[in-house]
Amino acid sequence: MRSSAKTLLVSLAVFLLLCAAIVFFAFMYLTGQSVGGALDELHDATRLSLYRHGMVEKLSSAEIKRLYLDTCTRKCHGKDVIENKPRTAAEWEAVMVRMKAPDRADMSDRHAETITRYLQSNFLSNVPTVLPEKTMKYVKLHLWRSDFGESDLFLDLIYIPYEHRSLLPYLGVRNAPSNPQAAFFVVYVNTHQGSVPPWDFTELAALHVDNGAAQKAGAWKILYEDGQRHHNQGVLVFPDIDTGKAADLEIKMRLPGLGTRSFQWCLPIPPMLEGEPVER
- Predicted local confidence at residue 181, as pLDDT: 86
- Predicted local confidence at residue 280, as pLDDT: 43
Q: Mind spelling out the 3-state secondary structure of the chain?
A: CHHHHHHHHHHHHHHHHHHHHHHHHHHHHHHCCCHHHHHHHHHHHHHHHHHHCCCCCCCCHHHHHHHHHHHHHCCCCCHHHHHCCCECHHHHHHHHHHHCCCCCCCCCHHHHHHHHHHHHHHCECCCCCCCCHHHHHHHHHHHEEECCCHHHEEEEEEEECHHHHHHHHHHCCCCCCCCCCCEEEEEEEEECCCCCCCCCHHHHEEEEECCCCCEECCEEEEEEECCCCCEEEEEEEECCCCCCCCCEEEEEEEECCCEEEEEEEECCCCCCCCCCCCCC
Looking at the whole model, is its pTM more than 0.95? no
What does the pLDDT look like over 177-204, one tens digit per residue?
A: 778 888 999 999 999 888 999 999 999 9
Q: Which residues of the chain have pLDDT under 70?
A: 1-45, 53, 74-77, 273-280
- Predicted local confidence at residue 24, as pLDDT: 45
- Predicted local confidence at residue 125, as pLDDT: 87
Domain ranges of the chain: 33-122, 133-266
We find that the CATH architecture of domain 133-266 is: Sandwich (2.60)
